[in-house]
Structure 1
Amino acid sequence: MTNIVSLSKFAVIKLSGEQSHSFLQGQVTCNVDDISKRDWQAGAHCNAKGKAWSTFVAFEQDNDIYLIMTKESAEPSLAELNKYGVFSKTEISDDSSNWHLYGTTEAHSELKSIELAPNHFLILSRQMIDGCEQDDGSWWYNEVMSGRAHLFANTSGEYVPQMINLQALNYISFNKGCYMGQEMVARMRYLGKNKRALYIAEIDGKYELTPGHDVYKAMNGNRRSAGKVINSAFFNGKTVFQLVLPNDTDLTDTIYLDSENDEQLRLLPLPYSLEQD
């Protein structure tokens, strides 16, 4: 296995028990029945207003369901799931200590391998893998460029799934029935209420900006906040960003990293279409 890196930002939530599937079906945006039919399934966990606590990829093993999400978004998601899980025959726990997560460019037949994008894998192991790299910049660079959004402390609970393009990556089932926040998510689709979207941008050099950092656009001679950073990564001399901006933003628009300095981001085409079926 080549180019394997240790990924320290992720947590694993485990659901076990005879009502785990039915319980989770009423909590998340994806069709939980698809988790057992496929190698993995992506989804989001929202609050009652339809804003995502977390985004995740899920898989099933030995009748248990595992949700992989960032550690920072796992904290509110775990608390919310446990709040409602007490009414179902399901046990919900942080199972992170039983897993080691890695990123690589190829699958591994002996480990749980999730291909998030071509030649871009998330893998899970019960045992620590010796000799892996600790610098995960290259893996996160590819993850940012894939347009797949992850949420962190400052962005958890801030965005309806369509504001971070989750509909384009099969995170949302629009025919599965009711779940937490479903009314708002459906309204975004069928009534055209969404005014924001996720964009990808790059800049030469290394810039360390935390999720939730404002980016700016020149308006009437002043710079005003145009949106926020969702995620970023540095690799091979460039920093790439995921940004939430007004969804009418043009790729030729000038976006500034700061309200005063002149560092400009180059907006890039998305690797998927946002057109609705």
Structure 2
Amino acid sequence: MPSRTTRTITFAGPDAGAFANAQFSSDVLSLGVGRWQWSGWLDPKGRVRALLQVARLADDRYVALPRGGDAPSLAADLQRFVFRSKVTMHVSGDLHVSNGAPVAEGEAQEKDDSLFFGEGDASLRIGTRQGDDAWIARHIDKGYAWLPDRALGTLLPPALSMERLGAVSFDKGCFPGQEIAARLHFLGGHKRHLRIVRSDVALQEGHSLHVDGREVGIVLMQHTYSSSPTSLVVLDDTMSQADTLETEGVRLHVLSTFAE
């Protein structure tokens, strides 16, 4: 099966770190050279426009990997906030997302025309060469979402377990959507969270899940293990209290969830 493709956004210049820190939800300025972290770009209402992996590859060069969405459009939207900042943005050509060899957790490496995001037991490789898709099953198991187009700009950080990933920081200063994200953090109350489900038939990424005519979630990622397709979904908490549920004639078995 062909590997998934994506495009990265490089931020370079004396103000690259400060610019990314002001726009993204994580503490980008805390990144050391050769390290990566989870992050996101939220809209003013706190919804996740982009879930990101951000790597610092030099003192003044950062690379953001959007996990879903259109990188050129994202970069164009970010460009509107540059103003007088000394930062340039470059969007790569199409790159393959594939499984990589083990790299230390949180370490970012450039090697053989590829960028590696270390996960300890493996890595995510972004490069010009096609590879295998073993990372998809691993990321479903770890709750590392990749967002289909229909999920962009619709989900709040708790639905993607962003605090568990360290993708949101509340003590670094302002960023878009901070007020809503902080309210959810301190007051709680969000009722949708990540779940791993097994289904009788393969689900479609981006497909809305309905129970009794009511929309109760969305499929983010899907991977087939023999005859038992397994998916990462966002699901209403009320629906996940049961071990199984029926959605439009498909039986879902809830396997696990991810706490904040």
**TM-score normalized with structure 1 length:** 0.80
Of residues 9, 21, 24 in structure 1, which corresponds to 2:5?
Answer: 9
Superposed CA RMSD in Å reads 2.6
Task: State the partner residue of 2:256.
Answer: 269
Residue 113, structure 1, aligned to residue 116, structure 2:
yes
In structure 1, runs of 5+ residues without a counterpart are none
Q: Tell me which residue corresponds to 2:49.
A: 53
Q: Is the 8 A contact 1:53 1:156 kept in 2?
A: yes
The total of aligned residue pairs comes to 252
- Which residue pairs with 2:244 in the alignment? 254
1:160-197 CA-to-partner distances (Å, cap 9, x unmatched) read 11121111111111211100111110011112232211
Contact 1:6–1:102, Cα closer than 8 Å, also in 2: no
The 5-angstrom pairing of residues 117-266 of structure 1 reads: 119-125=121-127, 128-129=128-129, 133=131, 136=133, 138-205=134-201, 207-211=202-206, 213-217=207-211, 222-258=212-248, 261=249, 263-266=250-253
Contact 2:216/2:239, CA 8 A, preserved across alignment: no
**For residue 44 of structure 1, what is the aligned residue in structure 2?**
40
Q: 1:46, CA displacement in angstroms? A: 0.8
C-alpha separation in 2, matches of 1:255 and 1:78: 40
Question: Residues of 2 paired with 1:253 and 1:268: CA distance?
Answer: 8
Stretches of 4+ aligned residues off by more than 4 angstroms: none
What is the letter of the counterpart of residue 100 of structure 2? Answer: T
For 2:85, give the aligned amino acid: S
Separation in 2 of the partners of 1:33 and 1:110? 20
SS in 1 for 2:199: strand
CA contact (8 A) 1:81 1:92 kept: no
Would the aligned equivalents of 1:73 and 1:152 in 2 still touch at CA under 8 Å? no
Q: Which letter maps to 1:210?
A: E
Given that 1:6 and 1:101 are in contact with CA atoms closer than 8 Å, whether structure 2 keeps it comes out as no
TM-score (normalizing by structure 2): 0.85
Deviation digits for residues 67-86 of structure 1 (CA, Å, limit 9, x no counterpart): 01235243442232111124
Higher mean alpha-carbon deviation, 104-113 vs 63-72, is at 104-113
Work out the percentage of aligned pairs sharing the same amino acid: 21
Check conservation: 1:145, 1:240, Cα contact below 8 A.
no
Q: Distance in 2 between matches of 1:248 and 1:269?
A: 14
Cα 1:57–1:198, aligned 2, differ >3 Å: closer, same or farther? same
